[in-house]
């Protein structure tokens, strides 16, 4: 910007410099009067506001004179972003200062200026608008850049805290309750863990899930690794189904959901169950699968290899049958167990006659040597059937 050389504009600028202390106080008073944010000092202390107004008004007057100036707009924008002051209110202070600076200049030219005062005001007008526009742009860019940095930092911190919950790791002598509190998770409500495979290397498959859940009043915290996107979700009793709906809407890859639990200490266990539910889905199809509430299913999930050995010992002869017969027998056994040992209800679920169910159950008895009237045999068959359904690639674990 060219240096002011004509006498009249230079004289007006010199006079402005003498008026700055009073103008700074007036702008601060007007700001506190018009903007509630600056009245209570919770975000921006009064002394900080005064200093900022002083620095920026001096910046503007120096810029009008064509002097080299410092980074006042950038410093203000960055500082207010760190303090959490909303950008519209920050810019409103700037507009108040600009308007009052202009009013002082107009009053001086009209009432106290000598010959050429009006011409001096006109000469400075276009320069003032250029300065104010440049000032606002630089302040806004600095505010947004700092806000973006803070957001990234906050996301990294939330991810690190979520990782501490998933691993059960204590950080700086702080346990899961401290991490949960910092994440905003309920300490007396219910929780669930979501585990979704990434659709590419470290590429989210539940895009925007935290924001979508927040719209429903559901707090969550997420961590992204090269192969997994995992989250801890805080829920009320009536929020589980809405959560599942959101997951189904946003999922572009397989995702598993743990049973509900209450203590943050159980988060590593819940993550394991969510991953087990995920592993049970067929690859390549975006689908959400909730792990059932069966304690037996959860028990087997912690030692799947032993569960598979048990399944082979108990149901090996069934598993050796041709695929079509094997699947029919396993489906019938599962329906019979799910329906509380009722052949009639299992038949309704399978859309066949009750006698067909009874025939298939007799076939299972022949192949396994285990009767569904023997409590010990029933326990073994139920456990083996559950272990098979927990195997990767099968559906509805713990159903």
pLDDT tens for 254-281 read 999 999 999 898 999 899 889 988 887 8
Is pLDDT above 90 for 168? no
pLDDT tens for 90-135 read 999 989 999 999 898 888 878 766 666 677 777 788 888 888 888 8
Q: What's the whole-number average pLDDT of the chain?
A: 85
What does the pLDDT read at residue 273?
87
Between CA 37 and CA 31 the distance in angstroms is 9
Q: What is the pTM of this model?
A: 0.59
- Asked if the domains at 176-292 and 302-390 fall in one CATH topology, the answer is no
State the CATH class of domain 302-390: mainly alpha
What does the pLDDT read at residue 78?
94
| Mean pLDDT across 213-231 | 94
> For a pLDDT cut of 90, what percent of the chain falls above it?
45
User: Domain 176-292, what architecture?
Assistant: 2-Layer Sandwich (3.30)
pLDDT confidence tier of residue 21, bands split at 50, 70 and 90: very high
pLDDT tens for 40-88 read 888 999 999 999 999 989 888 888 887 766 678 899 999 999 999 999 9
Top mean-pLDDT range of 227-231, 284-288, 289-293: 227-231
Q: What is the 3-state secondary structure (H, E, C) of the chain?
A: CCCCCCHHHHHHHHHHHHHHHHHHHHHHHHHHHHCHHHCCCCCCCHHHHHHHHHHHHHHHHHHHCCCCCCCHHHHHHHHHHHHCCCHHHHHHHHHHHHHHHHHHHHHHHHHCCCCCHHHHHHHHHHHHHHHHHHHHHHHHHHHHHHHHHHHHHHHHHHHHHHHHHHHCCCECCECHHHHHHHHCCCCCCEEEEEEEECCECCECCECCHHHHHHHCCCEEEEEECCCEEEEEEEECHHHHHHHHHHHHHHECCCEEECCCECCHHHHHHHHHHHHHHHHCCCCCCCCEEECCCCHHHHHHHCCHHHHHHHHHHHHHHHHCCCHHHHHHHHHHHHHHHHCCCCHHHHHHHHCCCHHHHHHHHHHHHHHHCCCCCCHHHHHHHHHHHHHHHHCCCCCCCCC
pLDDT confidence tier of residue 189, bands split at 50, 70 and 90: confident
Is pLDDT above 70 for 188? yes
Question: How is the chain split into domains, by residue range?
Answer: 7-150, 176-292, 302-390
What does the pLDDT read at residue 70?
66
What does the pLDDT read at residue 283?
86
């Amino acid at each position: 910007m060219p240096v002011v050389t004509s006498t009249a504009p230079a004289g007006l600028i010199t006079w402005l410099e003498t008026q700055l202390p009073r103008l700074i106080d007036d702008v601060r008073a007007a700001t506190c009067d018009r903007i509630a944010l600056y009245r209570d000092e919770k975000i921006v202390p009064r002394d900080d506001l005064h200093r900022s107004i002083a620095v920026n008004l001096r910046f503007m007057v120096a810029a009008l004179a064509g002097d080299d100036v410092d980074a006042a707009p950038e410093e203000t924008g960055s500082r207010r972003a760190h303090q959490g002051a909303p950008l519209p209110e920050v810019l409103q202070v700037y507009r108040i200062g600009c308007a009052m600076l202009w009013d002082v200049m107009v009053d001086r030219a009209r009432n106290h200026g000598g010959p050429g005062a009006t011409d001096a005001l006109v000469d400075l007008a276009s320069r003032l608008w250029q300065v104010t526009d440049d000032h606002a742009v630089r302040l806004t860019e600095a505010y947004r850049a700092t806000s973006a940095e803070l957001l990234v930092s906050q996301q990294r911190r939330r991810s690190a805290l979520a990782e501490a919950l998933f691993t059960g790791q204590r950080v700086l002598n702080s346990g899961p309750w401290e991490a949960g509190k910092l994440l905003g998770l309920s300490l007396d409500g219910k929780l669930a863990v979501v585990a979704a495979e990434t659709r590419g290397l470290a590429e989210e498959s539940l895009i925007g899930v935290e924001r979508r859940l927040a719209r429903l009043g559901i707090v969550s915290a997420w961590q992204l690794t090269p192969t997994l996107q995992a989250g801890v979700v805080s829920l009320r009793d009536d929020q589980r189904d809405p959560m599942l709906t959101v997951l189904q809407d946003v999922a572009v890859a397989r995702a598993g959901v743990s049973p509900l639990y209450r203590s943050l200490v159980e988060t590593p266990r819940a993550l394991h169950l969510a991953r087990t539910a995920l592993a049970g889905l067929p690859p390549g199809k975006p689908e959400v699968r909730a792990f059932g509430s069966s304690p037996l299913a959860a028990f087997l999930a912690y030692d799947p290899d032993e569960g598979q050995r048990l399944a082979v010992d108990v149901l090996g002869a069934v598993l050796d049958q041709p695929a079509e017969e094997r699947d029919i027998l396993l489906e019938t056994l599962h329906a019979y167990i799910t329906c509380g040992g009722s052949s009639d209800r299992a038949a309704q679920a399978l859309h066949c006659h009750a006698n067909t169910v009874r025939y298939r159950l007799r076939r299972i008895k022949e192949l396994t040597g285990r009767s569904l009237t023997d409590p010990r045999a029933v326990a073994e068959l139920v456990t083996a059937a559950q272990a098979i359904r927990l195997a990767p690639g099968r559906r509805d674990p713990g159903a």
